[in-house]
Amino acid sequence: MKRRELLVALAAGALAESSASLAQGSQAQYTNEITLPKANVTGTVSLEEAIERRRSVRRFAPKPLPVEAIGQLLWAGQGITSPDGKRAAPSAGALYAL
C-alpha cells in the first residue's frame, strides 16, 4: 500500500469513528469558554469590491490577533444570522459539521 493510500485510509477511519461517536450522542468537552463580542454586520466595502481586492498574504505579525478579529472571523464562517438559528454558512440538513 502506498503511503498516500495509507494516510487516506487512516484519516477515513478516524473520521468514521468520530462520526459514530457523535451519532451516539457523545459531546466534546471543552473547559475554557471565551465570550466573543457581537459581530460587525455593516461594512463599507461591497462584496464585489472585496472579491476584487482579495489577495493571499503570507506575512504574519508577531502579536496575536485581538479577540474582536477572531470573533468576526468565526461569525463570518459559522455565525448565527437570524433568531431561528440560521447560519452565515448554510449546511445540508442543518447539521453544521463544523
Write down the domain spans for the chain: 3-25+33-89
What is this structure's pTM? 0.42
pLDDT at 97: 67
HSE at residue 47, side-chain half, CA atoms within 13 A, is 1
Confidence of residue 80 (pLDDT cuts 50, 70, 90): confident
Q: What is the DSSP letter of 24?
A: T
Higher pLDDT, 96 or 36: 36
Higher pLDDT, 67 or 14: 67
* Tens digit of each residue's pLDDT (9 = 90 or more) over 12-66: 766 666 555 555 555 556 778 888 888 888 888 888 998 999 998 888 889 998 9
pLDDT at 63: 92
Q: At a CB cut-off of 8 Å and minimum separation 6, what does 30 contact?
A: none
